[in-house]
Amino acid sequence: MDTIFGIPTQALFGQLLIGLINGSFYALLSLGLAVIFGLLNIINFTHGAQYMMGAFCAWFLLTKLGIGYWWSLLLVPVIVGLVGMLIERAMLKPLYKLDHLYGLLLTFGLALIIQGLFRHEFGSSGLPYQIPEALSGGQNLGFMFLPNYRAWVIAASIVVCFATWFVIERTKLGSYLRAATENPALVQAFGINVPRMITLTYGFGVGLAGLAGVMAAPIYQVNPLMGADLIIVVFAVVVIGGMGSIMGSIVTGFTLGVIEGLTKVFYPEASNTVIFIIMVLVLLVRPAGLFGTQR
C-alpha cells in the first residue's frame, strides 16, 4: 500500500492535507465576503488586505507586546473588525445609495493603500511566526504524518464556519440579519437599527478575515502581499458557489481546496488555474453558481 494510482500515498495525503488547509481559508474568507455582500451589496475587495492585517497584528502582538497565539486568536479579529467598522462608517456608508460598483472600486483602492503601507514598512519578504507550543509536533497516523497545528486549523475553521452558519440560520439575531438582507426598509420600520446592524455585519465579516490571518500566520509567512493573490482565488470560489447560501460558501471553499490539492498531485501544471477552470465550467452550466440564485 505504498501507491494509489501510481502516486505515493505520502504525497497524496500530504497534498490532500494542504488542500484542506487552503480550503479552510477559502471557506473562512468566502464566508465573510458572502455575509458582507448579503447585507451591504458590496464586494469587499479589502478582504485580502484585512486577512493580511490579521496575520501582521498577531505577529505584532507576539513580538512587540509578548501576547501569545491564543490571546491573538481572540484579540485580532476584534481589532481588525473595529478598524473595518471605522472604514464602513467613514467611507462605505455614503456609497450605499450609489451603484454598487463604487463600493468595489473604493475597497480596491483601500486594499492598495493598506498593502502599500505594509510593504513600505515591512518590505516584501516574510516574517516568521512560531507555532504555539501546545500545538507543535504531530501525530504519526501510519499512512502519513499529521502536524498538530494543521489539524487544529482545519478543525477550528470548520467549527467557526458552522458556528457562523448556526448564528445566521438558526438564531433570532440571524433572522433579523436575513430579514434585513431581504428588505432593509421594512426591518427598520419594525424598530431595528439597520445602519448599526450593517456596521456590525461588516465588522464581523472583516473579523473573520482577521481570524483567518491569525491562523495562517504560522503556516504561511507573514507577508504584506499574502492576501493579494488569495483574494482573487476567493472571488472565483464565490462565483462558483454563488452567494445565496452560507452553507454553499463553506462547502465550496473546502471542496475547491481539496480539488486544488489533488491537482497538485496528478497534474501540477494546472494547480494554479484549476479553480478558475472550474469557474468557467460552472458559468457554462449554472451561471448563478452551484448554490446561488440569479439576481
Q: At closest approach, how far in Å is the CB of 220 from another protein? A: 19
Q: At closest approach, how far in Å is the CB of 78 from another protein? A: 25
Q: What is the rounded distance in angstroms from the CA atom of residue 112 to the CA atom of residue 104?
A: 12
Q: Which amino acid is at 228?
A: A
Phi, psi of 127 (to 5 degrees): -105, 140
- In whole angstroms, how far apart are CA 276 and each of 38, 264, 288? 23, 15, 16
Report if residue 284 touches another protein, rule: CB under 8 A.
yes
User: Do the Cβ atoms of 254 and 17 come closer than 8 Å?
Assistant: no
User: Do the Cβ atoms of 126 and 221 come closer than 8 Å?
Assistant: yes
Report if residue 236 touches another protein, rule: CB under 8 A.
yes
Report if residue 116 touches another protein, rule: CB under 8 A.
yes
Q: Which amino acid is at 272?
A: N
Total residues in contact with another protein, by rule CB under 8 A = 43
Residue whose cell numbers read 495525503: 13
* Residues 69-98, interacting with another protein (CB under 8 A): 91, 94-95, 98
Q: Mask 27-66, x = binds another protein (CB under 8 A)?
A: ----------x---xxx-----------------------
For the chain, what is the total number of helices (H) and then of strands (E)?
11, 4
Q: At closest approach, how far in Å is the CB of 283 from another protein? A: 5
Please report, as ranges, the residues that interact with another protein according to CB under 8 A.
37, 41-43, 91, 94-95, 98, 100-102, 104-106, 108-117, 119-120, 229, 232-233, 235-236, 238-239, 269, 272-273, 276-277, 279-280, 283-284, 287
